[in-house]
Amino acid sequence: MADLTQTTHRVSGGYDIVIAEAGDPSAPAVVFLHGSGPGASGASNFRQNIDAFVGGGYRVILPDLIGYGGSSKPEGLDYTLQLFTDTVHEALVAHGVTSASLVGNSLGGGIALLMTLDHPEFTRNLVLMAPGCVAEREAYFVMPGITKMVSSFGGPDFNLAEQKRLVSNLVHPDFASKIPDALVEERFAVARTQPKDVLVRMRTPDLSPRLPEITQPVFVLWGLNDEFCPEAHSRLFLEHCPDVRAITFGRTGHWVQVERAAEFNAYAIEFLNARR
């Protein structure tokens, strides 16, 4: 894998946001925004995509969201979509990124949407894998994958085996045996440092009424068997975004960029290349 350099930026509120990166610093920036869940981080969510994008001539930027990875993990507050978006945007600007393509999975997709709405000049285009925040929060919290994730995280029985079970829930059953033990261990090490507030006090709005405001090109990819963000939500983008295309993968869960890594890399890079 391409070598990653890591930088920490102090942002408003006194929080530290960690950003890893790879590739030519002068190349067009692609910011990868990871999803939620115990132990999530930029590197662990996108390890199978970094080399392809660097090889395609892009500067890969991998922030750890507040509450995740190596970034600050405050307790006693609501983890709102605005908090996620504001802290990571401020860190990106401090990192010297003033314009980028945004690649977002799940919660990261919602952050990419809000960042584009708040800072339209920042976003060149969007690649979204099963993006969240296009329905009310309660609609997501009854999804089977999220129900299992929230009920298990932070309890006395949360251990490495439970972490493996939660990661396996992210993918189609056919792919579960292919998840590396090193990935599970990496996420478990982060999960042990996270407060339960990261999940139980997450607050996300429904951004679907604002989708027509996004004029940048949008590419949406979804797994038909996603148990976290329903694939039917792809139609919201097709119906309301003025410049959008979508692909759905059969026998695929919530992690298109992992389960269908080679195809995802090829399709996404082709999409970005056509808009350079």
Distances (CA, A) of 52 to 92, 145, 186, 207, 240: 22, 29, 22, 31, 31
> Is there a catalytic annotation at residue 254?
yes
Residue 10's φ and ψ, nearest 5 degrees, are: -85, 125
Alpha helices in the chain, H assignment, sequence order = 42-46, 50-55, 81-94, 107-118, 137-141, 144-152, 160-169, 181-191, 197-200, 234-240, 256-259, 261-273
Number of Cβ atoms within 10 Å of the Cβ of 209? 11
Residues 6+ apart with CB under 8 A from 155: none
* Structure tokens that stand for 128 in this block: 């979204």
Point out the catalytic residue in the list 9, 172, 233, 254.
254
- Report the catalytic residues: 254
